[in-house]
Amino acid sequence: MSLLELAGVEKSFGAVQVLHGVDLKVGAGEVVGLVGDNGAGKSTLMKSITGVYPVDKGTVSFNGSDITRLDPGARREMGIEMIYQDLALAPQQDVANNIFLGREPTKRLFGLLPSFVDKTRIDLEAQEMIDRLGVHVPSIHIPVGMLSGGQQQTIAIARALTFKPKLVIMDEPTAALAVREVESVLNLIRQMQNEGISTILISHRLNDVFEACGRIVVLRRGNVIADLPRNNTDMAEVVSYIVGAHG
């Protein structure tokens, strides 16, 4: 059984239809590359999975249950994490608070006052996660906006992994990174796969996609036009699908 299953997903913005009935399956522990030209609908498709965009038609199911009507918060609770291209970080808040944004652990002070944010625990667990990923940030107490692009990317990944997700969607995670940082992100994806976490990797960098993914799905004008096992294809074929040479 697939972990994630999309059937006939359609989405329009005003008069513009972006997704024309997309079917997609992702198995547990699978790393799937999603490629396509600009405007093919990749980001819209991903936001339909995370629930940021409610779909107009079709169903999204996860782990055997229908999640089509659930909001982003509920889907995140179920184990779907997305790392956005714009990183979705709050630049003036510190590293630790960003990692726990939206799901702050709380404690009761004197057993009376409700829901005090447990800052000690946030700092402790954020530091653990940073160490586990082998990321170098000057301090977890500085505002995220003061970090480099690569560091911010790793903070975004750290945030996604802190809550033991089942599926992580990464939108162009390597686009803005230095060569060494790209390698560590790809290693991270492999590490996640070993832990049984599924990944959908959206990227224009086919090298990275071929290195990390077992299966490559090509989106063109809001349709899935190819679904290719990596071992059965090559870059030339994928490119020809992307540019529409296969009709």
The residues of the shown chain that bind other proteins, judged by CB under 8 A, are: 50, 52, 71-74, 76-77, 82, 84, 86-93, 97, 101-104, 106, 113, 115-117, 119, 146
Residue 104 or 211 with smaller CB distance to other proteins:
104
Instruction: Work out the number of other CB atoms within 10 angstroms of the CB of residue 42.
Output: 23
In sequence order, which ranges of the chain are alpha helices (DSSP H)?
A: 42-50, 72-78, 95-99, 119-132, 149-162, 179-194, 206-212, 235-242
CB of 122 to other proteins, least distance (A): 9
β-bridge pairing 106-109 and 80-83: unpaired
Write down the least CB distance from residue 111 to other proteins, Å.
Answer: 16
Q: How far apart are CA 114 and CA 117, in angstroms?
A: 9
Separation of alpha carbons 228 and 110, rounded Å: 58
Indicate the residue among 163 and 210 with the shorter CB distance to other proteins: 163
**C-beta of 227: minimal distance to other proteins in Å?**
28
- Smallest gap from Cβ 58 to other proteins, in A, equals 22
Between 117 and 245, CB nearer to other proteins: 117
Token couple for 75: 């889907």
